[in-house]
Structure 1
Amino acid sequence: MARTGRPKAEVKLTEQERATLERWARRAKSSQVLAMRSKIVLACADGRDNKQIAQDLRVHRDTVSKWRNRFVKLRLEGLMDEQRPGRPASITLDQVEQVVVATLEQTPGNATHWSRTSMAERSGLSRSTIGRIWRDFGLKPHQADTFKLSTDPLFVEKVVDVVGLYHNPPERAVVLCVDEKSQIQALDRSQPVLPMMPGMPERRTHDYVRNGITSLFAAFNVADGTVIGELHRQHRAAEFKKFLITIDKTVPAELDIHLICDNYGTHKTPAIKAWLARHPRFHMHFTPTGSSWINQVERWFGFLTDQMIRRGVHKSVQALEKDIRAWIEQWNDNPRPFVWKKTAEEILESLARYCRRISGAAH
């Protein structure tokens, strides 16, 4: 006679239990263990045997048998993890709350911010415990960042205008992000730079010799990433006008030109306004005051600084300008446009959430 084995416990679900199990089984990230147990019980309720369920869900047959029997005995509560034995917690929730509140709302009397040592002395807990509490709550008192909220009364209108150009540029037109990187210093180190060696980074002296400054006027094409650049020793409205003339000569005559600029005074002088009036294909769009992050050319300036200027060594302004021109030429040989993903609505909503967070009584 064939061996039939131990009979399986039959699983029958009420409508409420099935709805609860289906909701638990759909969990994408949290409580994946509970989601798998729910899938096992639902499969058992459909009349499938343990072997087939184990193959479909890629678990062991004993696992299927365990949760089938546990559900039959304890129903939904049986799928939860049981309280496990172990040493009780050495600190209370009140102590954790006191550390978090003190970190957020107070400062030590002899410093501007808490350290693990100073908070441990205040709370009576160990330094390692303070570190775990701060890590669990994402608190980093040793770090500080900067911010700038624009006070421009036309902030919303300007954000909508500039971001609209990024997402929906006008037809038969070119959109250029224009700005000046002023006072770029030609720096020479007081001693020769020591090259990188295995196990040792490149080394340079902390002091330097200034050999003059120059200013870079740049126009970044948001469509293809190409850059129109021009160097001048001074940074005035006269130089900005010369740069506008260069842009006018470079861009094909049949295209309109939309310039995204900041609110620097040289962009709005009577001479500049008169020149723009004589060249109607130029359209000026100004970023909000204190919001240079919205101008894409600033990101391009970051690449230039990181890759050429910051660690460069130049014995004269002419050498600095030569290297900048060469770097721009290499960039334009393989231009890379930036992809602007945030819409104006998302930017404004993000700013609104931030303002709500800092609008408490302590701010």
Structure 2
Amino acid sequence: MPVAGAARIVLTAAERHRLKKAAYGHKTAHQARMRAQVVLRAARGRSNARIAHETGLHLDTVRTWRGRFADGGLPALADRKRSGRPVRFTPVQVAEVKALACQLPAETGVPLSHWSCPELAAELTARGVTGSISASTVRRWLRQDALKPWQYRSWIFIRDPNFRAKAQRVLDLYARTYEGEPLGEDEYVISSDEKTSIQARCRCHPTLAPGQARAMRVSHEYGRGGAVAYLAAYDVHQATVFGRCEATTGIVPFMTLVEQVMTQEPYASAKRVFWVVDIGSSHRGKKSVDRLAARFPNAVLVHTPVHASWVNQIEVFFSIVQRKVVSPNDFTDLTQVRHRLRAFEDRYNATAQPFQWKFTTSDLDDLLARLDRHTLTDRYQESSVALAA
């Protein structure tokens, strides 16, 4: 019987561009790359035998993909749908797997803190929901609904009844406003707090500097050289840090930090200096407000709400200290800790710029509204469960 001639391939500019991208792309699957190369060579008028020789493919394979493209164009280069093997699990079983993943293990009598795919697979088999099932199958089903029962996030309720008013006062100060009035040139905002228990971990072996294709290496074993508390005050608008190390935190160390800042210019002669602090024991309640005002009449203590230290900008500076100074913790003694913290202050103040604080009162209102919606939803669900019981 006569052999049919090779199909003639004519490409448009768009088809040629897509085929070249598939044929030479680093992330293209091997099968798609070879099919694109077959079509590109066929478009140059080469015979099937020559294409098979150049690509290393079988002659029948070349003939197949050349013919498919000639009949159906680019879509024809994709795999055709296959019937596959019969379905082993019913939709009901899949739904039961997802329902179990959405339950806490303790509620089902399983002594686990959270589910993993192997644990779910074993539990499904033990309950007789399914026969033998692999963890990868369970993972594929959970992925369909973006279920990840092995992950968790913590949350906390707002307990301060005056949360918005207190938070707004702090956010307004960052925007250079207090009680609806703009701050003057001789008014300053200081963010302050304590970073407790900075340890001096004396490594048992010297730290190795990084090298080619090698990260810095720090010995896991260490001796404890004590700990210090780092107290810092950050001028929000001037981007200036004032810090000191103390053996412990408390009223006296905090007032010593205040003394360090308020006895130097421009704060000593300022009209008002606002001190933003949390409700830690060193500066809690009305007594701390009165104590600060009695010592420095131009100082105004402003407390953040309960569980809202994230609105205190000094925490941003402390995160920088943790990354750039403390970690990895490798000090010979506490003296080295103090010297490095002090030297870092000078280095930071030389080039620091104010933080680009983007959380405004509008964002605060959006956050509180979103929390209210969650609270109402939780209460409705609790009421529904109680009525059902």
User: Which residue number corresponds to residue 345 of structure 2?
Assistant: 328
CA displacement, residues 282-332 of structure 1 (integer Å, 9 cap, x when unaligned)? 111111122222211112101101111121421121111000011111111
| SS, match of residue 210 in structure 1 | strand
1:171 aligns with 2:172: no
1:237 aligns with 2:251: yes
CA displacement, residues 164-185 of structure 1 (integer Å, 9 cap, x when unaligned)? 2223434122112110112211
Q: Is the 8 A contact 1:287 1:295 kept in 2?
A: yes
User: Which residue number corresponds to residue 258 of structure 1?
Assistant: 274
**Which of 118, 123, 145 is the matching residue for 1:137?**
145
1:273 aligns with 2:290: yes
How far 1:190 moved relative to its partner?
A: 1.7
Structure 1 pair 118/274, CA: closer, same or farther in 2 (3 Å)?
closer
Counterparts of 1:327 and 1:226 in 2: how far apart (Å)? 12
User: Which residue number corresponds to residue 291 of structure 1?
Assistant: 308
How far 1:265 moved relative to its partner?
A: 1.9
User: Which residue number corresponds to residue 219 of structure 1?
Assistant: 233
How far 1:251 moved relative to its partner?
A: 4.6
| SS, match of residue 188 in structure 1 | strand
User: Which residue number corresponds to residue 163 of structure 2?
Assistant: 155
**Which of 304, 311, 320 is the matching residue for 2:328?**
311
Q: Is the 8 A contact 1:96 1:133 kept in 2?
A: yes
How far 1:133 moved relative to its partner?
A: 2.7
User: Which residue number corresponds to residue 112 of structure 2?
Assistant: 111
User: Which residue number corresponds to residue 36 of structure 1?
Assistant: none
Q: Structure 1: give runs of 5+ residues left out of the alignment.
A: 1-83
Counterparts of 1:357 and 1:148 in 2: how far apart (Å)? 16
- Counterpart of 2:281, as a letter, is G
How far 1:101 moved relative to its partner?
A: 1.9
| SS, match of residue 195 in structure 2 | strand
CA RMSD of aligned residues (A): 2.8
Counterparts of 1:313 and 1:244 in 2: how far apart (Å)? 30
Structure 1 pair 161/97, CA: closer, same or farther in 2 (3 Å)?
farther
| SS, match of residue 146 in structure 1 | coil
Q: Is the 8 A contact 2:117 2:138 kept in 1?
A: yes
Number of residue pairs matched by the alignment:
280
Counterparts of 2:90 and 2:241 in 1: how far apart (Å)? 60
Q: Is the 8 A contact 1:187 1:313 kept in 2?
A: yes
CA displacement, residues 103-124 of structure 1 (integer Å, 9 cap, x when unaligned)? 1124162422211112223153
Q: Is the 8 A contact 2:198 2:228 kept in 1?
A: yes
Structure 1 pair 351/300, CA: closer, same or farther in 2 (3 Å)?
farther
User: Which residue number corresponds to residue 347 of structure 1?
Assistant: 367
Q: Is the 8 A contact 2:237 2:354 kept in 1?
A: yes
| SS, match of residue 213 in structure 1 | strand
Counterparts of 1:190 and 1:354 in 2: how far apart (Å)? 51
How far 1:272 moved relative to its partner?
A: 6.5
User: Which residue number corresponds to residue 11 of structure 1?
Assistant: none
How far 1:92 moved relative to its partner?
A: 5.0
Counterparts of 2:305 and 2:265 in 1: how far apart (Å)? 26
How far 1:356 moved relative to its partner?
A: 4.5
Counterparts of 2:378 and 2:197 in 1: how far apart (Å)? 35
| SS, match of residue 250 in structure 1 | coil
Q: Is the 8 A contact 1:217 1:230 kept in 2?
A: yes
Normalising by structure 1, what TM-score?
0.69
1:249 aligns with 2:249: no
| SS, match of residue 105 in structure 1 | coil
Counterparts of 2:371 and 2:377 in 1: how far apart (Å)? 10
Counterparts of 1:339 and 1:255 in 2: how far apart (Å)? 25
* Relative contact order higher in (CA < 8 Å, ≥ 6 apart): 1
How far 1:260 moved relative to its partner?
A: 1.0
Counterparts of 2:248 and 2:114 in 1: how far apart (Å)? 43
Counterparts of 2:289 and 2:223 in 1: how far apart (Å)? 36
User: Which residue number corresponds to residue 34 of structure 1?
Assistant: none
User: Which residue number corresponds to residue 182 of structure 1?
Assistant: 196
Counterparts of 1:201 and 1:318 in 2: how far apart (Å)? 27
Counterparts of 1:338 and 1:137 in 2: how far apart (Å)? 39
How far 1:281 moved relative to its partner?
A: 1.8
- Counterpart of 2:159, as a letter, is T
Q: Is the 8 A contact 1:179 1:219 kept in 2?
A: yes
CA displacement, residues 29-57 of structure 1 (integer Å, 9 cap, x when unaligned)? xxxxxxxxxxxxxxxxxxxxxxxxxxxxx
Q: Is the 8 A contact 1:163 1:344 kept in 2?
A: no
| SS, match of residue 102 in structure 2 | helix
How far 1:158 moved relative to its partner?
A: 1.4
Counterparts of 2:216 and 2:311 in 1: how far apart (Å)? 34
User: Which residue number corresponds to residue 53 of structure 2?
Assistant: none
| Identity within the alignment, % | 26
- Counterpart of 1:328, as a letter, is E
Counterparts of 1:97 and 1:177 in 2: how far apart (Å)? 52
Structure 1 pair 251/194, CA: closer, same or farther in 2 (3 Å)?
same
How far 1:196 moved relative to its partner?
A: 2.9
